[in-house]
């Protein structure tokens, strides 16, 4: 059983074990929890390249978790049992690239890979400790439905999911609001995803309220989310390296909240031979602008064809920034304080104009997204959702001979059938599970974008788990 400890990026929280880190979510000092050290696994890569997805998951997670091996194996097996592809996350050759399909879980999105595990992990810890948990989450689309399906019906857990009213895809909203279990509460917030995220973080920083209601996080501020996603970088990367006889691979990752590509960054730091991590944004381009200029500055949130990426403030960016400033918590806190005050921060760029040698970045706008969906359907008979198309569009600009490109497919195209119809002129994207939702009853409450309103809602719907 591993003894890895977790520290806060802000440096004012005592180190803790993995189970406590998962239950804590956001660190008490407002920072994000990260492992005290990053394991070097370069001497294990040949062996791992022969393993199944579940076995690679076990080998990676056991480096970071503090539960017995037999319990960990059981958690992994239960978590991936609902997936409909035996490889869990296959890397499929399409044209000149590989597409890493991450949508074979219960809600047809890559978030299932982490949230099925996290739901089982929460339940394991709560049973061990005889405790209750109230999850508070903010979603721009897929996190909400994946989290709800990961914990629905569990006796010891309630979940409150905030989504920006009218700003998630209709099918994504239906996936959340059609779950009528007594422990599920859907909240449509009259604002943007950034408003939802701000409310969530402010309530977690209110330690008295957080402790009284035992608040837990399933957003990618929770380290377990990022950890679970590291696995598919190794699984796909090692498979493609072996199959293609290459020395390094490139990953193109559509991102808004920086969690998915951060997992790739950890895989790179652990020793996976990564040539480039290609960060692809839509028109909400705060992250792309940062990696091309060193400036991290707020803009207005623009509705796009890829709504799960319609984000300006990327909650996982702080973890990366911690390493970028040399793991200096004081310097990091100064930068975050400046950003929260002025809406901007500036870091130095290298001689090539880039912030970090392992990152490339670009924007996939509306037209390039539609063009990519249409082209891959016409040329390869392959349908991709608009988020995946953003990643493919940008990734193609940074292809390099000898370094295979793996583009992450983050959702099943049927979840965004309107974009597919606009791109191809045909109603091509269907899925039996989603078709069944058409006439399903729903349950959702609308709240203003106000911390007090969300706090009062929680207080009125579940009892406090501890005394004042």
CB-based contact 404:250 (threshold 8 Å): yes
Active-site pick, 111, 201, 276, 415: 111
pLDDT higher than threshold 70 for residue 467: no
pLDDT, tens digit, 9 for 90 and up, residues 43-72: 999 999 999 999 999 999 999 999 999 999
pLDDT higher than threshold 70 for residue 457: yes
Phi, psi of 234 (to 5 degrees): -65, -45
pLDDT higher than threshold 80 for residue 235: yes
Predicted pLDDT at 326: 96
pLDDT, tens digit, 9 for 90 and up, residues 147-187: 999 999 999 999 999 999 999 888 889 999 999 999 999 99
pLDDT, tens digit, 9 for 90 and up, residues 6-36: 999 999 999 999 999 999 988 999 999 999 9
Q: How far apart are CA 246 and CA 404, in angstroms?
A: 7
Predicted pLDDT at 2: 78
Q: How far apart are CA 407 and CA 362, in angstroms?
A: 14
Residue 111 annotated in active site: yes
Predicted pLDDT at 468: 57
The size of the chain, in residues, is 468
How much is the average pLDDT of 337-353?
A: 88
pLDDT higher than threshold 80 for residue 352: no
How much is the average pLDDT of 307-321?
A: 90
Q: How far apart are CA 374 and CA 406, in angstroms?
A: 19
pLDDT higher than threshold 80 for residue 466: no
How much is the average pLDDT of 207-228?
A: 92
- CATH of region 91-108+224-432, choose from 3.40.50.300, 3.30.465.10, 3.30.1330.10, 3.40.50.1100: 3.40.50.1100
Give residue 313's pLDDT band: very low, low, confident or very high (50, 70, 90): confident
pLDDT higher than threshold 70 for residue 114: yes
Predicted pLDDT at 3: 86
Predicted pLDDT at 465: 82
Domain ranges for the chain, please list them.
91-108+224-432
Predicted pLDDT at 53: 97
Predicted pLDDT at 312: 85
CB-based contact 10:27 (threshold 8 Å): yes
Going by C-beta distance under 8 Å and a sequence separation of 6 or more, which residues neighbour residue 30?
Answer: 10, 201, 205
């Amino acid at each position: 059983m591993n003894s890895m400890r977790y520290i806060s990026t802000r440096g004012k929280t005592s180190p803790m074990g993995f189970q406590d880190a998962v239950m804590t979510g956001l660190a008490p000092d407002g920072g994000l929890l990260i492992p005290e050290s990053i394991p070097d696994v370069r001497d294990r890569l040949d062996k791992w390249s022969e393993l199944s997805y579940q076995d690679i998951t076990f080998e990676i997670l056991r480096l970071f978790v503090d539960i017995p091996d037999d319990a960990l194996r059981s958690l992994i097996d239960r978590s991936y049992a609902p997936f409909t592809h035996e490889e869990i996350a296959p890397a499929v050759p399409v044209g000149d690239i590989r597409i890493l399909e991450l949508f074979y879980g219960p809600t047809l999105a890559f978030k299932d890979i982490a949230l099925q595990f996290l739901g089982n992990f929460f339940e394991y810890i709560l049973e061990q400790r005889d405790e209750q948990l109230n999850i508070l989450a903010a979603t721009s689309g897929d996190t909400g439905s994946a989290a709800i399906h990961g914990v629905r019906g569990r006796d010891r857990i309630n979940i409150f999911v905030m989504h920006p009213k009218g700003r998630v895809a209709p099918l994504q909203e239906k996936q959340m609001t059609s779950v009528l279990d007594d422990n599920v509460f859907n909240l449509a917030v009259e604002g943007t995803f950034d408003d939802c995220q701000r409310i969530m973080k402010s309530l977690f920083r209110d330690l008295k309220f957080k402790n009284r209601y035992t608040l837990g996080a399933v957003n990618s501020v929770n380290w377990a989310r990022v950890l679970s996603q590291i696995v598919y970088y190794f699984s796909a990367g090692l498979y493609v390296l072996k199959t293609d006889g290459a020395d390094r691979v490139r990953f193109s990752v559509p991102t808004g909240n920086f969690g998915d590509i951060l997992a790739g960054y950890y895989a790179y730091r652990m020793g996976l031979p990564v040539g480039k991590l290609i960060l692809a944004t839509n028109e909400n381009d705060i992250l792309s602008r940062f990696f091309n200029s060193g400036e991290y500055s707020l803009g207005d949130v623009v509705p796009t064809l890829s709504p799960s990426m319609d984000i300006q403030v990327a909650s996982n960016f702080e973890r990366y920034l911690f390493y970028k400033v040399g793991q200096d918590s004081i310097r990091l806190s100064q930068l975050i304080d400046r950003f929260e005050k002025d809406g901007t921060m500036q870091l130095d760029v290298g001689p090539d104009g880039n912030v970090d040698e392992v990152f490339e970045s670009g924007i996939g706008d509306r037209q390039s997204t539609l063009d990519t969906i249409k082209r891959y359907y016409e040329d390869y008979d392959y349908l991709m959702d608009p988020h995946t198309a953003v990643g493919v569009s940008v990734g193609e600009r940074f292809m390099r001979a000898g370094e295979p490109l793996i583009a992450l497919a983050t959702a099943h195209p049927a979840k965004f059938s309107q974009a597919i119809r606009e791109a191809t002129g045909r109603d091509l994207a269907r899925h039996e599970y989603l078709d069944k939702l058409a006439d399903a009853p729903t349950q959702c409450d609308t709240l203003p974008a106000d911390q007090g309103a969300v706090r009062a809602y929680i207080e009125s719907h579940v009892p406090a788990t501890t005394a004042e």
